[in-house]
Amino acid sequence: MNKNIKNWLFIGATVAFMTSCDSQLDVKPTASIDESEALANSQAVEVTLTGAYDALSSTNLYGGAIQYSGDLLGDESEVRFAGTFTTLDELWRKTFTTTNGQTQATWLAGYNTINIANNVLSAIDKVDAAKKNSVEGEARFIRGLVYFDLVRLWAKAWGDGDANANLGVPLVTTPTRGVTEADYRARATVAAIYAQVIEDLTKAESLLGNPSNTGFASKGAAQAILARVYLQQGNYAAARDAANRVIAGQQFSLTETFDEAFFDDTNDSEVIFKIIVTDQDGGNAMNTYYAPSTYQGRGDIRVQTKHLNLYQSDDSRGTFFVRASGNTYTAKFLDQYGDVPVVRLAEMYLIRAEANARLGTSTGATPLNDVNLIRARAGAPLLTTVSINDILAERHLELAFEGQQIHDAKRIKKNVGTLPFSDNKLVIPIPQREIDTNKSLVQNPGY
């Protein structure tokens, strides 16, 4: 994937010219590309789709910010943020200001990505017939994924009050190519955003195949994110079935060891969707904040004894850490140029296990077998019986530092430290810049 191609609908094309008395050199600079050219044919639309992937890979989105925002916001003293960036410190301490520069950057990056996807979808009829399903499916996957995480971070959780009344985020499904009053959208309801997410991901699942490069959207990736969405809603039958479709599809398999799931040379089988990072393009903010300086990171997020004590002695996940300068760091993100995983197969087994356990079913496998499959891979003692709490504990250990902590706390209505799951401090405020510009927006309670 050539990630250097940016969204050319919004980048001016500069023309260098020299002043000359020769009229042939007296050319006018071009300030922008006309829409009729930018989305004129299949190749142009495909290039714009590449721009959507590039936007998605920003360190302000799935290059790290979405993941560490979920972890820092949901942390209960299992890590310590020891960096100098007040923007991330506010996330960890749950003391947001409405001018937080990092959350503003994530909001803007999210809507930029959505807008590029909207441009692709607006010109889908220009795409060659052989590529049309794939291009539409990929654009819908990208839009659905971003909306899902925006609504989870900037709105009350599903189940916290009435989703049909609670304000979500602005819902925009057509391209924004010039700012007018009509472009200043109010916030749609949480229910409306979830409906759009499910529509996009369901359509993506139906349109996409399964390419070998998991840096691209695929049928399996759409199924995996759908499983997350349904689990967040407490729609356990749909979550179970979506996760089971991923597993039964047999495109993915667990790595032999837990460690291998976090190295690019060994984890191709397990990672369902990832952000590609190279030494020339892309960024890995997980490495930046979670890895010590010996691994090119800042070492800002340090693992505490409270977390380390959660592992049993034989569990290899309990030793998957590194020590530097007297501090402990997760070993999941040690490669500065490592790809950033967005969703792994291990999560699908845990979603299926939890959903089956809650429903009293055994679709695909029993909850006990699914949990023991994950524990066996880690070398942890196998269980003889399994409860909902056992499964939730397994999720916490297996998916630690991968962005799910705040979302799990909210969906099971669990306190985060001394804060109840519904506390306003666990919802990111709408950026003040947006409130000042768009008078249709209503700020979140408490800000």
> In this model, does residue 17 exceed pLDDT 50?
no
Assess contact for 316 and 259: CB atoms under 8 A. Answer: yes
Please count the other Cβ atoms lying within 10 Å of the Cβ belonging to residue 15. 10
Residues ≥6 apart with Cβ < 8 Å to 70? 152, 153, 403, 404, 405, 406, 407
For the residues 267-280, what does the mean pLDDT come to?
94
Residue 33: per-residue pLDDT = 53
Residue 8: per-residue pLDDT = 34
> In this model, does residue 160 exceed pLDDT 90?
yes
Structure confidence at residue 35 as a pLDDT band (50, 70, 90): low
Assess contact for 429 and 98: CB atoms under 8 A. Answer: yes
Enumerate domains of the chain plus CATH numbers: 41-413 (1.25.40.390)
Structure confidence at residue 212 as a pLDDT band (50, 70, 90): confident
Interhelix angle 219-233/190-207, nearest 10 degrees? 150
> In this model, does residue 306 exceed pLDDT 70?
yes
> In this model, does residue 216 exceed pLDDT 90?
yes
Structure confidence at residue 30 as a pLDDT band (50, 70, 90): very low
Structure confidence at residue 16 as a pLDDT band (50, 70, 90): very low
Note the pLDDT tens digit of each residue in 235-251.
999 999 999 999 999 99
For the residues 328-335, what does the mean pLDDT come to?
98
Note the pLDDT tens digit of each residue in 354-376.
999 999 999 999 999 999 999 99
State the pTM of this model.
Answer: 0.92
Residue 36: per-residue pLDDT = 58
Residue 279: per-residue pLDDT = 82
Residue 82: per-residue pLDDT = 98
